[in-house]
């Protein structure tokens, strides 16, 4: 029984009876039939009336804005040509597929401050009308939601219930798991059945849901490839997904601190894309500072931009090519200078 059906049923019961003293007697058949017809129409329009003012699992609240996602990825995700390509094609292709055979599972890897959280927010903002505030977007942070190793069995049950309950309410649900590298080994395997190729499980289909995992694991491998390209005089834009995806998946599978250690999600090929986020160069940090100024309606003051860029730290020690924190501390440093 859906909640929005109950008011009409209560009304139907009330209208089908009249009070005569202390007794309740049914009204005439003709009047009851007329009221039933009216209530049928009310039931038909009530959900639409509700959804016009309150978020519902319908197209007016959930619709992929592919053009907007493309423009945002290309305009605000700096230095991540691989992530831009993969995310755009994977997400729009999945949402446009009317009969997917499994949920979309993306695993985003790279050092902190390279744009992983930003990308997950971009996807939510262009899929749901309420963006990250949507009731159909669910974010889990390992250190906040699963802090104690000795409670792992309880966490597994809770995680299964959360996923099952939310997908039951809306098939097009988005789940974001942050800090996967801090998640207890084996915990993520509890939702493995929901990510597999089953048509339904206990009457629930998970095939339209999206799962995104964010992790720093694999960052060293990604950085090494980026540094090798730089040393060979190649542009970072020449790095292709095939140069990194397999290596990253193997590294996180064999790393006990990755959250994916020996997980069946990798072993059974249930992660659709391992998306590498490259370390950011000085020029990308500069872009981040300018974008932050723009978001605050401030003019791009070059003195302030230079001051923030120069205060960031870079590696390797001698060459100083990559920012070791990406753009993560740009906002706070800008607060100081403004």
pLDDT at 257: 77
Question: What distance in Å separates the CA atoms of residue 265 and residue 28, rounded to the nearest whole number?
Answer: 62
Tokens of 321: 């090519």
Phi then psi for residue 131, to 5 deg, are 60, -135
The domain locations on the chain are: 3-51, 66-276, 282-337
Instruction: Per-residue pLDDT tens, the chain, 338 aa: give them.
Output: 444 444 444 444 444 444 444 454 555 556 655 665 665 555 455 567 788 889 999 999 999 999 999 999 999 999 999 999 999 999 999 999 999 999 999 999 999 999 999 999 999 999 999 999 999 999 999 999 999 999 999 999 999 999 999 999 999 999 999 999 999 988 999 999 999 999 999 999 999 999 999 999 999 999 999 999 999 999 999 999 999 999 999 998 888 877 888 788 998 999 999 999 999 999 999 999 999 999 999 988 999 999 999 999 999 999 999 999 999 999 999 999 98
pLDDT at 262: 78
Report whether 246 contacts 218 (CB < 8 A).
no
Helix (H, G, I), strand (E, B) or coil at 23: strand
Its pTM stands at 0.85
pLDDT at 29: 58
pLDDT at 39: 52
- Assigned architecture for domain 66-276: 3-Layer(aba) Sandwich (3.40)
Q: How many CB atoms lie within 10 A of CB 22?
A: 5
Question: What distance in Å separates the CA atoms of residue 27 and residue 110, rounded to the nearest whole number?
Answer: 70
pLDDT at 52: 82
Report whether 123 contacts 69 (CB < 8 A).
yes
Q: Residue 331: CA atoms inside 13 Å, Cβ hemisphere, count?
A: 4
> Residue 13 CA to chain centroid, in angstroms?
44
């Amino acid at each position: 029984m859906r909640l929005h059906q109950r008011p009409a049923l209560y009304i139907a019961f009330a209208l089908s009876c009249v009070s005569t003293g202390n007794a309740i007697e049914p009204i005439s058949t003709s009047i009851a039939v007329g009221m039933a017809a009216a209530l049928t129409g009310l039931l038909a329009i009530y959900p639409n009336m509700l959804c016009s003012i309150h978020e519902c699992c319908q197209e007016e609240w959930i619709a992929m804005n592919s053009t907007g996602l493309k423009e945002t990825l290309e305009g605000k995700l700096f230095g991540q040509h691989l992530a831009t390509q993969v995310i755009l094609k994977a997400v729009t292709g999945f949402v446009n597929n009317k009969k997917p055979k499994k949920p979309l599972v993306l695993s985003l890897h790279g050092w902190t401050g390279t744009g992983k959280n930003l990308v997950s927010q971009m996807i939510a903002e262009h899929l749901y009308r309420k963006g990250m505030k949507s009731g159909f977007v669910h974010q889990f942070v390992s250190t906040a939601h699963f802090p104690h190793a000795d409670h792992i069995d309880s966490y597994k049950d809770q995680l299964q219930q959360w996923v099952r309950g939310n997908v039951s309410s809306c098939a097009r649900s988005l789940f974001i798991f942050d800090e996967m590298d801090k998640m207890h080994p084996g915990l993520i395997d509890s939702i493995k059945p929901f990510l597999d190729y089953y048509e339904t499980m206990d009457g629930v289909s998970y095939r339209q849901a999206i799962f995104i995992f964010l992790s720093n694991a694999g960052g060293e491998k990604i950085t090494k490839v980026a540094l090798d390209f730089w040393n060979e005089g190649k542009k970072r834009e020449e790095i292709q997904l095939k140069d990194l995806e397999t290596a990253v998946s193997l590294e996180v599978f064999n790393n006990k601190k990755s959250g994916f250690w020996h997980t069946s999600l990798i072993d059974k090929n249930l992660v659709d894309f391992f998306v590498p986020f490259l370390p950011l160069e000085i020029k990308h940090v500069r872009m981040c500072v300018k974008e932050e100024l723009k978001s605050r309606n401030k003019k791009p003051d070059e003195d302030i931009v230079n001051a923030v860029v120069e205060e960031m730290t870079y590696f390797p020690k001698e060459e100083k090519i990559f920012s070791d924190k990406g753009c993560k501390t740009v906002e706070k440093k800008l607060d100081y200078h403004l």
